[in-house]
Structure 1
Amino acid sequence: MNELSQIRQGAFAPANTADMAEAMIAGTGLRIEIDRRRGRGAAINTSGRFEPISRELEDDGWNSLEELPVFKTEVQVEKPRSIISRNDSPDIPFDRSVNPYRGCDHGCIYCFARPTHAYMGLSPGLDFEAKLFAKPDAAKLLERELAKPGYKVRPIAIGTNTDPYQPIEKEWRIMRQILEVLKAADHPVMIVTKSAMVMRDIDILAPMAEKGLAKVGLSVTTLDRKLARLMEPRASTPSKRLEAIKALSEAGIPATVMMSPVIPALNDHEIERVLDSGRTAGATQASYVLLRLPLEVSPLFRDWLLRNYPDRYRHVMSLVRSMRGGKDYDAEFGKRMKGAGPYAWQIGRRFELAAKRLGLNVGKRPLNCDLFVPPLGTGVQLSLL
């Protein structure tokens, strides 16, 4: 009996968090029916880790589960007191970021931001994709924080947690308002997205880039449309992301092709093709991040892998653990982005050789922090000069 058959027949018990996905396959009732979650990345919606009790669906014999509604995107307004988040991580190239939204209906199954939904009393599974939070006051808060006396300029990163150009941005337009504030203040910004919607704001980003104030990274995880649809169900197609790189580049906006994440035995064979396609589209920089499976992301990804690529499950997870010290994830600084061990080393060398061959990552220029003019935000004392 192979591992998948054993899992489906209940031979494995959920001994720890890493084994939860296998238990879900064994019929614990945690899997949401496909008609209710169609178009979503996750198939489960377990309670957040901070909840005092755990809930799961169970039919009462009257086909009650058939009456439950489908998961539709719901947006609540969040009113934070501040909008700039700061960090002192040694392995990321920024010390501050802005997140216009909490949660993301792109539905990327591997998203390392999923566990943050637990802080809202929600599930990192389907809730993360369907119950979103928008911050409509973000631009006003940003203007106020930039206007504070003693503010020291450093590039602000946007899109490092959830995507600022996820579909609800079409209606809320919070990201555009933020860019308008940054443009008016000549403040540098770096954007990460996997959405072609970024092309909408070229009219703002191009003048900023001309002053050395803006650059954009497009995450292109695969060129396989089927894999992309399964892995990132509501994100732009790979061809649309490459189209966005081309449009940004032609407008004079520095573009980076980002292969994030690299998943062993699933998309790592595409490293050279992705970089080559990004360079052809006009990207001048490239980067990658190894698959990260913190907290609830691990069982969610395992469940997804068993549903869509059962024949690769054991191989993928074996390689993941070989690069994470025998675990699904290692959060240690210096290792969490690139991993460790022979297979991780091989991925790194392949990436470096491909980037060098294509002339990527040559002559990096830091964003300009010398042009900043503090905005005259609400409550700021005007100058007497």
Structure 2
Amino acid sequence: MANEDAGNPAQTHRGRGAASNLAGRFVSHVSSRESDGWQTEIEPLERLLTEAIEEKAKSIIATNRSPDLPFSQSINPYRGCEHGCIYCYARPAHAYMDMSPGLDFESRIFFKPNAAALLEQALRKTAYRCSPIALGSNTDPYQPLERDKQITRQLLEVMQRFNQPVTIVTKSQLILRDLPLLEEMARDNLCQVAISVTTLSNDLKRKLEPRTAGPAARLRTLEALSAAGISTAVLAAPMIPALNDSELEAILKEAANAGATQAAYILLRLPHEVAPLFRQWLDAHYPERAAHVMSIVQQSRGGRDYQSDFSQRQSGTGVFAQLLRRRFEVAIRKLKLNLRRQELDCSRFSRPPLSGEQQALF
């Protein structure tokens, strides 16, 4: 499949993270426009609108056995993410849809309208064994499209009826729409929420994560969730060498002040097409330090842009990675984070009777 933008010069689109529609790794050939020498000025980019694409999913719960992940099953209501975070490790998945992991990933979003029905079917199966479900492990379950589609909301309503425990990771204030429901689930120890805070700088946030809530808004969201009795965590991720890694301690401190009791961090991950997209982004926004950033990244990834080994893909190796890990350990000890990991209650799981079905007497 041809990708018309694959060879075009990278230009930044207002409100978008990627600088191009870089071809996916499964594309057999690409085409590009070449200058004939007559045009001396770059044409202004047209506004890139978001396209919502309906996807009728056949199943909804994904399982994994990855030893470095704290969950064994997850649900992603959406493919692609309008937040446009340039570093998103989920970008390469759009290549499986014959689309670009670049601008397509953040402007052509697939939504699953039958997600709640599929979840109920899965939970009613006698073979199902309850364990926490991670909601939005790849893309944000509260990205802008959720305001209209409400698929995440529908999934949570099903989980509440079944007493199915859930963990959520988001950057969005939209989660506060569902605060009453989450508060009820939290009373039964059925939900935990992690807020991702990448930077405390509004300027860097606008470049890294163009359509996300600002740092102050995320901290207020964290505070509101914590005040409602919901177990909360901060995810300081990704930590990018020579760009935001100096903020690690400040992010953890602000999150602890907002009520977070748990914390984690992830070193920048650049799988597949994310690496060239991130390099384009560096050249567009931070050309003076691009080489330095990538040099430290490669020092932390065995001389390459990325290594996928379970033992080190989240934290990396080498001097920089070791120092970052040590800084994190010192900070959480000082802030008294991660003192006790709260396990969600799976013993409450039950299948509510179907409509017209006689309830059990005992």
The number of residue pairs the alignment matches comes to: 355
1: CA distance, partners of 2:293 / 2:194: 27
Query: Does 2:220 align with 1:243?
Result: yes
Report if aligned partners of 1:187, 1:369 keep a CA contact under 8 Å in 2: yes
Query: Which residue pairs with 1:186 in the alignment?
Result: 163
- Gaps in structure 2 of 5+ consecutive residues: 1-5
Report if aligned partners of 2:298, 2:306 keep a CA contact under 8 Å in 1: yes
TM-score for both structures, normalised by structure 1: 0.88
Query: Which residue pairs with 2:334 in the alignment?
Result: 357
Shift of 1:31: 2.9
Shift of 1:62: 8.9
Query: Which residue pairs with 1:217 in the alignment?
Result: 194
Query: Does 2:74 align with 1:100?
Result: no
Shift of 1:186: 0.5
2: CA distance, partners of 1:198 / 1:269: 28
1: CA distance, partners of 2:254 / 2:324: 18
Q: 1:343 to 1:80 in 2, by over 3 A?
A: same
1: CA distance, partners of 2:96 / 2:56: 15
TM-score for both structures, normalised by structure 2: 0.93
2: CA distance, partners of 1:327 / 1:358: 34
Aligned alpha-carbon RMSD (Å): 2.1
Query: Which residue pairs with 1:170 in the alignment?
Result: 147
Query: Does 2:120 align with 1:135?
Result: no
Q: 1:168 to 1:58 in 2, by over 3 A?
A: farther
Q: Deviations over 1:176-235 (max 9, x none)?
A: 000000011100000001111111111110111111100000000100100001000001
Report if aligned partners of 1:46, 1:54 keep a CA contact under 8 Å in 2: no
Query: Which residue pairs with 1:294 in the alignment?
Result: 271
Query: Which residue pairs with 2:8 in the alignment?
Result: 30
Secondary structure, aligned partner of 1:311: coil
Secondary structure, aligned partner of 1:261: strand
Letter in 1 for 2:9: R
Query: Which residue pairs with 2:3 in the alignment?
Result: none
Secondary structure, aligned partner of 2:52: strand
Report if aligned partners of 1:143, 1:375 keep a CA contact under 8 Å in 2: no
Report if aligned partners of 2:332, 2:338 keep a CA contact under 8 Å in 1: yes
2: CA distance, partners of 1:112 / 1:290: 12
Query: Which residue pairs with 2:295 in the alignment?
Result: 318
Shift of 1:66: 4.8
Report if aligned partners of 1:147, 1:376 keep a CA contact under 8 Å in 2: no
Shift of 1:238: 0.6
Letter in 2 for 1:307: A
Q: Deviations over 1:268-306 (max 9, x none)?
A: 100110000000111011000110000000000011011
Letter in 1 for 2:25: R
Query: Which residue pairs with 2:136 in the alignment?
Result: 159
- Kindly indicate which of the two structures has a greater share of residues assigned to helix: 1
Q: 1:45 is matched with which residue: 21, 34, 53? A: 21
Shift of 1:29: 4.4
1: CA distance, partners of 2:46 / 2:346: 50
Shift of 1:33: 4.4
Query: Which residue pairs with 1:338 in the alignment?
Result: 315
1: CA distance, partners of 2:149 / 2:16: 21
2: CA distance, partners of 1:320 / 1:297: 13
Secondary structure, aligned partner of 2:294: helix
2: CA distance, partners of 1:46 / 1:108: 15
Report if aligned partners of 2:134, 2:166 keep a CA contact under 8 Å in 1: yes
Query: Which residue pairs with 2:351 in the alignment?
Result: 374
2: CA distance, partners of 1:374 / 1:178: 15
Query: Does 2:125 align with 1:125?
Result: no
Query: Which residue pairs with 1:24 in the alignment?
Result: none
Q: Deviations over 1:317-366 (max 9, x none)?
A: 11101110000000001110000111101000100110110010011111
Q: 1:55 is matched with which residue: 28, 31, 35? A: 31
Shift of 1:377: 6.1
